[in-house]
Structure 1
Amino acid sequence: MTTPTQLLKDKVVIVTGAGGGVGKGVALEAARQGARVVVNDLGVSLNGESSGSSPAEEVVAEIKAAGGQAIADGGSVAEWESASGIVERAVSTFGRIDAVVHSAGILRDSIFHKMTPSDFETVMRVHLFGAFNMARAAAGHFREQNSGALVHMTSTAGLIGSVGQANYAAAKMGIVGLSRSISMDMARFGVRSNCIAPHAFSRMIESVPGLSPEEQERYLEKRRQTTRPEQIAPLAVFLCSDAAKDVTGQIFGARGNEVYLYNQPRPVRTLHRSEGWTPGTLAEMLVPAFQSSFTPAERTKNVLGWEAI
């Protein structure tokens, strides 16, 4: 499994949620680029229930058939002990760890007033706690070797907005803050941390709130054709490589053949009153001054209105 210019030659990469979808695409591309890959997948359905299969083993077989090196791992990212075990397994098998791509995720969609505490916590644990657990478990190894890369999957559900996904959106925005903080705390050790907001047809978009069955099928068929998981993989692999040594603390998007950079929150307007503010003076002045700069409550499809190609 060799190519003329392998960006990840001799590196060891963990990819969580790599049994299918975006994670699988990243694992396969990382192997093509010379990495030894830990293919982590719990083998669960979209809502986190056991599927009784071992998709990680299937991906490992595919990598090995192409001449690459990989091992399967069925540990949960949601618990610290298990996540730590994933990293230690990579180190004990391959001798080091160079990058972690956290792609594992589940959905428990619900309109907010019907969302249960359990559904909120379960999604947070896989996405946000999982991102922390994997990054923290790798941090000590990265510090010792003075290098390392983290790639976290965020989502436009958090960056822009989505209906019926408050748990998922909260977790994905939490990942953005986590990644930004890691990029600052770990910079002195040569460690980079970035986010990708992927648009790709995978299990994570099979559940689309607010569409009729006919509308959903038309939507999914279009997404199958124009946004494929393997189109996300090159960006993730690049961010794991030494070629991205100067890239950290950023949020990227990948949709079809497009790659884009997201802005990050900064003040856009200021309002000053020398004698200070009262609720009444704010009521009088704030809305007229700021309203033209308010961010509309738009959904992703309204903001990214052009077709993916």
Structure 2
Amino acid sequence: MSLPPLATLRAFEAAARHLSFKRAASELAVTPTAISHQVRLLEETLGVRLFDRKPRQVTLTAAGQELYPTLRDGFAGFAIAIDRVKARKQQRSLTVSVLASFAAKWLLPRLGGFQAAHPDIHLRLHTSAEVVDLNSGIADAAVRYGRGPFAGMVVQTLFADRFAPVCSPMLNIQQPNDLRGQTFLHLEWLRPDEATPTWARWCKRAGLDDVDLSSGLSFSDDTHAIQAAIAGQGVVLASSEMVRSEIAAKLLVQPFGPVMEGHHYHLIHTGRSANIKEVEAFGAWLADEIAKDGGV
């Protein structure tokens, strides 16, 4: 294989995940200058810019957004394979494949509760938006978003997603007409369908027929779109569950509706995993967490 040096890929993945050279440097125990050097080396190797550098922040270019998810999933795969080798002597383990945004915005803040309730289960998360073959041994179960059907699988439906405009309170948006002239933050869905919540569909439902949606910013990772909204860079049509904590902290506001119904999140497994008891324990814990939220 003809690949760039691993150190450059590792530095880019950390910087893209944090959208910060400083935080990437802290994670990798190097200096921000070292991260910057490695990213520059990768950009020179590939012949494209991967970041737009501004005085106090960095953002991914189109090339960076294309490269990041593959590297993110690749490093996650390395970690899972290494963990499996190291953990063979452990009696109880569980690997769950999850969407990166679900992991970051919903699951990770709650995982301390699962570890407290099940200290004997070694949980590993595999983050990927792609379909995972649960018969291959990559994961024991998966949390996925969609309508199904999931043929031959045991499915535990978790909760329905809902989408509404959210933005920084700094923008002072109070009614739908205030959206005119604002920057729209668009999400690039991997497998869009007729129920995918887009700005065009939302504007039609809200009765805004003359809003220019041709410009704005597009994101392949909705966690980055949410961060852009927090920074006041525009308005995003976001999942209410994925921005729950930001709204509670008043970093974002949902100024008005209408609210669009999305698909459901599901816990999926074969029912035949060697770790079926661990899968069932994880499913029961998810159900308890959702019940604490009022059923979502």
Pairwise TM-score range, normalised by the shorter structure? under 0.3
Of Structure 1 and Structure 2, the greater strand share is in 2
Q: Going by fraction, where is helix more abundant, 1 or 2?
A: 1
Which structure's relative contact order is higher, taking Cα pairs within 8 Å and 6+ residues apart?
Answer: 2
TM-score (norm 2): 0.24
